[in-house]
Structure 1
Amino acid sequence: MSHLVFFEKPGCGGNARQRAALQAAGHTLERRNLLTAHWTPEALLAFLAPLPVPDWFNRAAPRIKSGELVPEALQAEAALALLLAEPLLIRRPLMWNPADDSRMVGFDTAAVTDWIGLEPSAQRPSSLEGCSSPTKSCSTPTGGQHAPV
């Protein structure tokens, strides 16, 4: 099993479900606050660079949901500056496996299973990203899509 550094938003129900799935599969987590981590451009790009710029963003962030920010309209340099200034916009979780220096952004169960393995569960949705309540608007960042790095 893997030991992961798990960057999350404390109190986020989506991140809690993601942690539970990882721990049920035997992985250990070093939890870190995504919002207060001291991100440098290089450290954040180590997670984000392989992805298209729009996939860097948390689609549930209020400024994105309101249409104030349109990730598809941003170039990489401007997008990175926004994410560094406002970490609530960063798609989450960010996960890092120090053993092989691999990284992942977001939490698609199939991709996580391919990356490090998850326990099979007939009840687990194909994606654990997003809000825990399908009827409520979520103002917490929980991510969009992701890809292994």
Structure 2
Amino acid sequence: MSDIVFYGKPGCGGNARQKALLQAAGHAVEPRDLLAWPWTAAALLEFLAPLPVPQWFNRAAPRVKSGEVVPEALDAAQALALLLAEPLLVRRPLMQCGAQRLVGFDPAEVDALWGLQPRHAAWPRERAEGCAAAAADVQAARCRSARE
């Protein structure tokens, strides 16, 4: 299988689930702290440039959810400056396997590129992004406070 560099947020339940899916498929996962990584504009753009600017952003970030940051209102230069200054706004995870890079965790896309087996009943068929605790109010509040 593959070695996958996984830039995520430490303590994020969603990222933990995503790493577990990759490991269950036999991939070696090298976790890196997305928030503490010394990003440069060029390095971040290697992940983000193929996507439209609004897809660069973590929709669960407090400043995006509150409407303070409106990704659709930003051009690429504004967005990049904001993401470099505040990595919590970056859509996660960022993943790299060799020269291939992905933003976010779409199980079908991960499966097509690198393989995501086994495919059992628990295998997610939709995007596996977002807070794993969002369904439970108490857990969602805990998750929100951890993002801040």
Q: TM-score, normalised to structure 1's length?
A: 0.89
SS state at 2:122 partner: coil
Measure the CA separation in 1 of the matches of 2:74 and 2:120: 38
Q: Which runs of 5+ in 2 are unaligned?
A: none
User: Corresponding residue for 2:105?
Assistant: 107
Q: Name which of structure 1's ranges 33-42 and 119-128 shifts more when overlaid on structure 2.
A: 119-128
Shift of 1:42: 0.3
Structure 2 residue 27 is matched with structure 1 residue 27: yes
- Separation of aligned partners in 2, 1:63 and 1:124: 31
- Could you say which residue in structure 1 is the equivalent of 2:11? 11
Partners in 1 of 2:4 and 2:93 — Cα distance?
Answer: 11
**Structure 2 residue aligned with 1:51:** 51
What's the counterpart of residue 124 of structure 1? 123
Q: 3-state DSSP class of the match of 1:5?
A: strand
Counterpart CA distance in 2 for 1:57 and 1:16 is 19
Superposed displacement of residue 8, structure 1: 0.7
* Secondary structure of 1:17's aligned partner: helix
Q: List, as ranges, runs of 4+ consecutive aligned residues in structure 1 with deviation greater than 6 Å.
A: none
Q: SS state of the match for residue 36, structure 2?
A: coil
Q: TM-score, normalised by structure 2?
A: 0.90
Q: Give me the whole-angstrom Cα distance separating, in 2, the residues matched to 1:121 and 1:45.
A: 35
Give CA deviations for 1:69-117 in whole Å, capped at 9, x if unaligned.
100000000000000000000000000112xx11000001111101101
Q: 5+ unaligned residues in a row in structure 1: which ranges?
A: 142-149
Aligned residue number for residue 64 of structure 1: 64
Identity of aligned residues (%): 63
- Structure of larger gyration radius: 2
In the alignment of these two chains, the number of paired residues is 139
Q: Which deviations, in whole Å up to 9, do the C-alpha atoms of 1:23-46 show, x marking residues without a partner?
A: 000000111100000000000000
Larger helix fraction of residues: 2
Residues in 2 aligned to 1:112 and 1:38: alpha-carbon distance in whole angstroms: 25
Once superposed, what is the RMSD of the aligned Cα atoms?
Answer: 1.3
Q: Which amino acid aligns with 1:20?
A: A
Paired amino acid for 1:31: P
